[in-house]
Amino acid sequence: MSTNTAYYIPHKATWPVIGTAGLMTMLAGFANYLNGSSIGPALMVIGLLIFVVMLVGWFTLQAKESESGMYNHEVGISYRHGMMWFIFSEIVFFAVFFGTLWYTRNLSVPWLGEGATKELLWPSFDATWPTNGPGKVGGDFESMGAWGLPFLNTLILLTSGVTCTWAHHGLLAKNRDQLIKGLIATVALGFLFVTFQAIEYHEAYTDMGLTLGSGVYGSTFFMLTGFHGFHVCVGAIILSVVLFRSTQGHFKPENHFAFEAAAWYWHFVDVVWLGLFVFVYLM
Amino acid sequence: MSAVVDEHDHHADDHHDHGPEKGLLRWITTTNHKDIGTLYLLFALVMFFVGGSMAMVIRAELFEPGLQFVDPAFFNSMTTMHALVMVFGAVMPAFVGLANWQIPLMIGAADMALPRMNNMSFWMLVAGVLLLASTLFMEGGAPNGGWTLYPPLVLQPITVGKALPFAVFSVHLLGISSIMGAINIIATIFNMRAPAMKMMDMPLFVWTWLITAFLLIAVMPVFAGAVTMLLTDKFFHTSFFNAAGGGDPVLYQHIFWFFGHPEVYIMILPTFGVASTIIPVFARKPLFGYASMVWATASIAFLSFIVWAHHMFTVGMPVAGELYFMYATMIIAVPTGVKVFNWTATMWKGAMTFETPMLFSIAFVVLFTMGGFTGLMMAIAPADFQYHDTYFIVAHFHYTLVPASIFILMAAGYFWLPKWTGHMYNEKVGQLHFWLSAISVNILFFPQHFLGLAGMPRRIPDYAVQFADWNMISSIGGFIFGASQLLFLYIVIDTIRGGTGEKVSDEVWEDASKHGLEWTLPSPVPYHTWTIPPTSVPTEHVLDSH
């Protein structure tokens, strides 16, 4: 096995167009489903399958190329740029929903409860948070407290950040056992987080009257925590792939971009959760 | 980076053929930056004519008062789709195409940093546009609530038909495409640049694209988030933009324009970059004020994030907000003015010649400046209450997009096509194309200033009779402009097929190799270039900064 000194440039790529076709089919299916068309769900499943096949195929190819030493130092730098700016775009995406929460709580809800809006439209509206608005959209609900499952989930994610770093130290110290154990713990904590969140959502819907339709509180609560939960799932799946590759003897102390990228992503998900815990649950 | 390897090298029976694949599959699976650049540019050209046809429908309907050709809902679909197709299908992809072709050539890189992702960026663009275009054939027609997709209008049953979810997912795909393209450009510029080229040696086109790429990554997710909330408000009972549930439709406008204002600079900054590349070559002088151009570009990009609400002066903001956004917006005139003066100073006492790319560039400097001045007029909040949502704004942004972005894209085509194809375009037809375009674009858009100041609202299929004369003149200009662009189509095809038959030199333009690395390569440019990076780079364009 040799390591190239030259920058590797592939000459043909079939996975990108396959992945695009899959994603487009999936979204076209979803749009059809929302419009009430009966072919929607079938298209979604077909698109998803194509997309998953693409992910497996493309990542297998990348892993093979990486392990056979085709990527030199510069290729690694390009990949790091790619991952870094991808995560930046994700941060911006979350910022939109945090911004929405901020604007709603600090500007638009108070405006609904003052001046002419209050006098002429909704004199009885009490503009306090949490609210489902003057129209009481979605009916009575209880807001989600911070100190039950959410706090437990905070501890779980923080711990998973530690186990992830512990695994990284194992990788750097050529301690394969520590690497694998650390990753198993991280993945398990990730899925535990998602399980607790599912329980939390179940309670909200069945016992608390809190749904996605519970006015702007329900909208912002489920949008923020829901997108975050989706990202935890994605991160845990990425880490599972890294775990599988670790058991196959992949990664070296000087060459383990996939591990690094997964770890960056995981820490990003972790930090977003801290923001959620403070702004959605605590405040 | 010392050298480059391609995957053929790993096979025993290696044939050192570095040419393209044969057949159609080449274009689907290609990872070559020149192939992908070509795909982007051709796709953009097709979309330019699709979006242009929609504009012709609009101008035909507005030729005289009354309802002539199309019903009002379809007219509204045309204004909405014309904007979306031109912004996301024509102008942005055309600049990404130029970036793909030119950035590696200009910085001495063998290819883009992430070639597979480069391929995916293009196909995601096609997928996004396909989803959007499919709405034209749906029950209820294409989106017709305006390209800004404002709620609550866009959520009304009569406005959405079946189009809304397709439009939303189209925006998601276009966003993914743009973000991947932008990441690739950043990685390429930082990581693939020839070691001999310092950041402050980079051609202005590379600088402007680097800054544009950051804008793209920072705002495309914002648009994606905004339309996602539209989708959940429509289909999943959320109340983000519904006051009864505690939400606020104005919030959508804030989010949209937080994306939308940087978005307009995404279309103009690369325009500045191309102009800064072309003008010095035909003025036979170094670019005046290279460093100030770089800093002006960065300043404009920064300011673009803090001025968004000047699109919403009449929405009912607190007065403090109106004042802040008014003054912040006016500050943008400073770095923009720096640029205009620099281009003018570059031409000052230059040994100028007026080939087609230079003609389009000079027209850009003059006409863009006018678009900038009308922008200043509208930045004045109290005055904007008169202009808002009238044809004045239509005239303003078309001056900044058509005789600016589109003219510079044309200029770029004339400037680099000989390099790419090895064939010279027909200069006579090129000049005819320029003069027809430059005259008709003013007949088309200048009267719209008068219409707007007189109070004609935008986005209407019919209007009061006092607006009839200027509308007819505007429409005549529009038809001439539209027809003139067929000349460009002819020239592009003709040049690819051999042009004048004259073999162009490596430099193409006199002394161009002093201005940019791409002119030191053979014409036509080989399929693979800079597999070994250049050891020295031309610095004519930066002389002035030292």
Q: Kindly list the distances between the CA atom of residue B175 and the CA atoms of A54, A78, B53, B373, in Å, as whole numbers in the listed order.
A: 20, 21, 25, 31
Residue A186 is predicted with a pLDDT of 98
Does the structure show a pLDDT above 50 at B545?
no
Q: Provide the Cα torsion A144, A148, A149, A150; round to 10°.
A: 60
Does the structure show a pLDDT above 50 at B331?
yes
3-class secondary-structure state, position A165: helix
Q: How confident is the model at residue A283 (pLDDT cuts 50, 70, 90)?
A: confident
Q: Where are the domains of chain B?
A: 24-545
3-class secondary-structure state, position A252: strand
**Selected residue of B21, B238, B241, B530 to mutate for chain A interface (largest A Cβ count, 10 A):** B238
Lowest mean pLDDT among B97-111, B237-251, B366-380, B529-543: B529-543
Cα distance between residue B516 and residue A90, in whole Å: 36
* Cβ–Cβ < 8 Å for A127, A112: yes
Specify the CATH architecture of the domain B24-545.
Answer: Up-down Bundle (1.20)
Strand blocks (E) in chain A: 7-9
Sequence-ordered alpha helix ranges (H) in B380-467 = 381-387, 391-400, 407-421, 427-453
Does the structure show a pLDDT above 70 at B182?
yes
Cα distance between residue B119 and residue B188, in whole Å: 15
- Average model confidence (pLDDT) for chain B? 93
* Residue of B256, B190, B253 lying closest to B219 (CA atoms): B256
Does the structure show a pLDDT above 60 at B438?
yes
Contact A28 B131 (CB under 8 A): yes
The dihedral of CA A207, A213, A218, A222: what is its sign? positive
Chain A environment of B235 (Cβ under 8 Å): 34
Residue percentage of chain B with pLDDT more than 90? 89
Residue B3 is predicted with a pLDDT of 53
Report which residue type is found at A271: V
Residue percentage of chain A with pLDDT more than 90? 93
B282-306 tens-digit pLDDT: 999 999 999 999 999 999 999 999 9
B residues 248-307 closer than 8 Å to A (CB): 248, 250-251, 254-255
Residue percentage of chain A with pLDDT more than 70? 98
CB atoms within 10 A of CB A192: 17
3-class secondary-structure state, position A178: helix
Q: How confident is the model at residue B543 (pLDDT cuts 50, 70, 90)?
A: low
**Selected residue of A33, A50, A60, A81 to mutate for chain B interface (largest B Cβ count, 10 A):** A81
Residue B11 is predicted with a pLDDT of 43
Residue B158 is predicted with a pLDDT of 67
Phi and psi at B476, nearest 5°, equal: -60, -45
Q: Which of B101, B252, B257, B265 is catalytic?
A: B265
Q: Kindly list the distances between the CA atom of residue B276 and the CA atoms of A82, B73, B209, B265, B516, in Å, as whole numbers in the listed order.
A: 29, 42, 12, 16, 12
Residue B156 is predicted with a pLDDT of 85
Nearest to B232 among A27, A77, A223 (CB): A223
Residue A8 gets which letter from DSSP? E
Phi and psi at B197, nearest 5°, equal: -100, 115
Give, to the nearest 10 degrees, the angle between helix B163-191 and helix B92-107: 10
Contact A10 B6 (CB under 8 A): yes
Give mean pLDDT, residues A174-198.
97
* B292 is a catalytic site residue: no
Q: How confident is the model at residue B22 (pLDDT cuts 50, 70, 90)?
A: confident
B105-137 tens-digit pLDDT: 999 999 999 999 999 999 999 999 999 999 999
A27-73 tens-digit pLDDT: 999 999 999 999 999 999 999 999 999 999 999 999 999 999 999 99
3-class secondary-structure state, position B4: strand
Quote the tokens at residue B353.
Answer: 């010649």
Lowest mean pLDDT among A162-171, A240-249, B506-515: B506-515
3-class secondary-structure state, position B289: coil
Quote the tokens at residue B247.
Answer: 């939400």
Beta bridge partners of B5: A8
| Nearest-5° Cα angle at B146, B144 to B147 | 115
Give mean pLDDT, residues B72-89.
96
Does the structure show a pLDDT above 80 at B31?
yes
Tokens 């400046």 label which residue? B369
The CATH number fitting domain A73-282, selected from 1.20.120.80, 3.30.420.40, 1.10.630.10, 3.90.1150.10: 1.20.120.80
Quote the radius of gyration of chain A (alpha carbons, Å): 23
Does the structure show a pLDDT above 70 at A1?
no
A85-142 tens-digit pLDDT: 999 999 999 999 999 999 999 999 999 999 899 999 999 999 999 999 999 999 999 9
Q: How far is A182 from chain B (nearest CA, A)?
A: 31
3-class secondary-structure state, position A283: coil
B339-355 tens-digit pLDDT: 999 999 999 999 999 99
Residue A271 is predicted with a pLDDT of 97
Contact B32 A11 (CB under 8 A): yes
* B389 is a catalytic site residue: no
* Cβ–Cβ < 8 Å for A85, A97: no
Give mean pLDDT, residues B505-527.
93
* Burial (CB count within 10 angstroms: exposed 0-12, middle 13-18, buried 19+), residue B221: buried
Residue B499 is predicted with a pLDDT of 84
* Residue of B215, B338, B216, B214 lying closest to B272 (CA atoms): B338
Residue B287 gets which letter from DSSP? P
Q: Which of B40, B101, B147, B530 is catalytic?
A: B147
* B336 is a catalytic site residue: yes
* Cβ–Cβ < 8 Å for B353, B282: yes
Beta bridge partners of B6: A9
Q: How confident is the model at residue A4 (pLDDT cuts 50, 70, 90)?
A: low
Quote the tokens at residue B411.
Answer: 């200029």
B468-492 tens-digit pLDDT: 999 999 999 999 999 999 999 999 9
Q: Where are the domains of chain A?
A: 1-71, 73-282
Residue A99 is predicted with a pLDDT of 97
* Residue of A7, A37, A42, A3 lying closest to A25 (CA atoms): A42
B243 interfacial to chain A (CB closer than 8 Å)? yes
Cα distance between residue B169 and residue B108, in whole Å: 37
Residue A5 is predicted with a pLDDT of 66
Q: Kindly list the distances between the CA atom of residue A255 and the CA atoms of A70, A76, A197, A241, A246, in Å, as whole numbers in the listed order.
A: 11, 8, 35, 16, 13
Name the percent of chain A in helix, strand, coil, to the closest 5: 75, 0, 25
Q: How confident is the model at residue B417 (pLDDT cuts 50, 70, 90)?
A: very high
Chain A and chain B share a number of CB contacts under 8 A equal to 238
CB atoms within 10 A of CB B334: 12
B residues 164-223 closer than 8 Å to A (CB): 165-166, 168-169, 172-173, 179, 182-184, 186-187, 190-192, 217-222
Residue B305 gets which letter from DSSP? G
CB atoms within 10 A of CB B485: 19
Cα distance between residue B51 and residue B79, in whole Å: 10
Q: Which residue of B has its CA nearest to A113?
A: B246
Chain B environment of A115 (Cβ under 8 Å): none
